[in-house]
Structures are given as structure tokens and as C-alpha cells.
Structure 1
């Protein structure tokens, strides 16, 4: 009985963490089914994303600090999108005025919604990491992973080498999370895979509703190739590492501030 109660609480919290991605998927479905002649679809999606972000801040579901992190992912994702569209990896076939090099600006929010999910999960599940690797090693790993998304068009794709490095680097790292009053843990590498798998499922839904289209989906929709899970696995790693590092830096600054105030009080 306790298992099912925890499962229900866990599922409900996960749903709350997915508010931003959920709104994006709902908007993709509605704008696919309902055509508004006075505004291009991709521009309407951009407006919806902007309003969603504003409302999340207004109602306190996200903080201004979290918004800064989310916008970092927006830029990272948009740059990657521009490059991938230029290389013909996928395209955005629908109309839109707010585009950069064929990439609608709303697409960056699909990446930032992942960061939003991570920030929400961090709070709702009270996440804690143990045996976090050396900051310089994981920074180098992030840069290399991101670079591989660009360079594999010209040289060998090192994704499997990078995945092995991830498994080695995070082999002792666990994430602790609370469901109700119960604290659970799992290997961080496994959590990367779980998130990547669900993003892959979401990608299939998004491409079905025309968020973007791979070359083999232009004539008729077909499922996204399962190999894309490895791409999301690596991208999720970048996302979690950046969020985690910024959280750690903030915690360290807060501790330093508290210590300084205590020392000043004693004097």
C-alpha cells in the first residue's frame, strides 16, 4: 500500500514539474488542429511560451534566479537548432515571421522547458547529490559533449566514447530525492537515462504535431529513430550539470554570507 501511495505522490510531483513542457505540448497539439489565419503558427507558439514564462514567474512557480538558468538553455538550444537546421538534420516546415536562419524563436523554449523541469524537480523532490565529480572535469565534459553535436558532421561521432566517460566519471555519484517523507536514491547516470527516454517519447509527440520534422518525416510522419535517445542522454547531462553547478555555487555563496554575518555579530 505504501508503494502505491509513494508512486502516486511521485507521479503527481513529476506532473507539476512538467508544467512548462506540458503547456508546450498542449499548444503544439491545439495549433496543429486549429489554424488561425491572422498569425503564423510558430509565432503563436512563441507568444504562448513567453506568456507561460511570465505567468510562472508571476505566480512564484519559478524564481528570477531560475529564469536566468532557463534562459541559458534557451540560448544553448537556439544556437544548436540554427546549426542543425543549416546542416539539414531537421527543419521547421510551418510558417513563422519570428525566425533566425529558418529556426523559429519558440524552439529555444523547448530546450529551456527541460531546464525548467530540472529546476522544478530540484525543489519539489529536494534533490541532493553525493560524490560530485571534480568541477574542471565535468566542465570539460560539458564542453566536449556540446562540441560533439557540431563536429560529428565533419569528423567521427564520439558520443559512445563520451557516454563511457560519463559512466566512469559519475560511477560513484548518487542523487537523493524525497517522496513525501521517504528519501530514496538512484545512480545519477541512471537518472540521465530515465529523463532522456521520456524526452525521446516527448520528441515523437512533438514531431507528430509538427514542432519540427526530420528528413524522413517530411512526406509522412514516422517515429523518431531510437538512436536519438543517446543524443538526449548527452544533452540532459549538460542540462543537469549546469543546473547543479549553479545550485552549488549559490549554496556556497549563501553559506559564506551567513558565516560572515555570524562573525560580524560575534564581534
Structure 2
């Protein structure tokens, strides 16, 4: 999902007459104390019913027909995806299907419904701003890992380890042999003498990945010596350095540390 593209398209939408644009932000976060009993289902049902009742009372038959077509499409999406809901659901829709955008997101939303000439984009723009496509680079002496995240979800992770026999970085796998023969004291002495040269070797790969994957923000996390040294070797601008050793932390905890 590319929100930049979607927002640009939605900003151009302006409908006249009875076929308006439906906007829905629905909080389905099971960790929200207000959602423990699946209250979102009641909120969804009430939100749709309120629009329908209003249009019936206004005796606006054409607009009611348009809304009911949208309602059918949205209800079908809800039924078909309910078991895979995350923290929120976003929908933009028109009866003629010129507009149809429906997404499950790993972010809590404020439940709101709109039926008007233009889509209401405030919350989706805030998500784009607060949770951009980002590269989170974790470093710990002879190990480097990056996490690519977008909208608080992980797109990709890769881990690298310096082969201390060849002085070359290699991608780590679950079955990788590591460097078991290098004692901690020996590694520490070699690290202090070689860290700038080591990080200079891996920095171009990180820069290339950031460019090819359109990272909007870059964060480096590691102990003071490691994080600062790696950041200095990269050509890409670093948005924030977090001086903590988090390389072995759960990825969800790392996202929480970066985005709060």
C-alpha cells in the first residue's frame, strides 16, 4: 500500500449530486480497553444505520440508493476480512466504484464516518506523517541489522555479520556459523581499532537499499560508539540516532522505541 499515491488520487475527488464519497475510520484494536467486547461491530452498525435513517427522513431517494450501494460493498468487505483485522480499518468508497480503497492497518484510529462531496483525509495523512517508510538500522560491533517498516508494519529485515577472518560482511541466516572462535576480549580490541573501516564497507549497501526502497526516514540504533560511527560512514542523512543496544530485541519493541 502506497499512501502517497492513494492520498494524491483521493485529493482530486470531488463529487456532485447524490453519489457522494463515503469515508470510514474504524478502531478495531483488541488492546484498546474500549474494544474488549468487540464494540467496533456496534459502532460500525450504528454508523451505517445513522446515515441511512437520515437520508430516509430527508426523503432523498437517489442519495439513499447511492449510500445503500456503498453500504453493501463495505459490509461485504467487513464480513470477508473480519478475522484478519488488526488495529484499524480505513475505507473510502463511492457507489459507482470510481473510489474504492479499503485497508486494514496496524495502527489505532479514531472511529469516524462521513458521507460528503470529498473524502476526509485527516487521519490517513497523519498516519503517513507519523509512520513513514523507514529504515531502522541496528548495530552492535561486528553485527548490523536493518528493519524496513511502513505504517508500523515490517516490510523486510536483514542481518549481517562481519567475517573476522576475511574482513567482509555477509548476510546472516538462522543456520549461519557466526564467529565462535573469536573471544570477547579479542573482538573488543579489534573492534576499537577497525570499526570505522568495518562500517565504511557496509555503509554503501545500506545507502543503496535506502535509495532503492525509498526510505523516507532513517534511524540508527546502537551503543554510542557503534551507532555514531556507522552513521558517519553513510551518505544518506540520518534522521535520528538512538544510543541503545537493541539488536537482539523483539522487532515490535524496536518499532515502539522509534515511533512511540
Q: Which TM bucket (shorter chain)?
A: under 0.3
Q: Scaled by the length of structure 2, what TM-score is found?
A: 0.25
Structure index of larger Rg? 2
Higher relative contact order (CA 8 A, sep 6+): 1
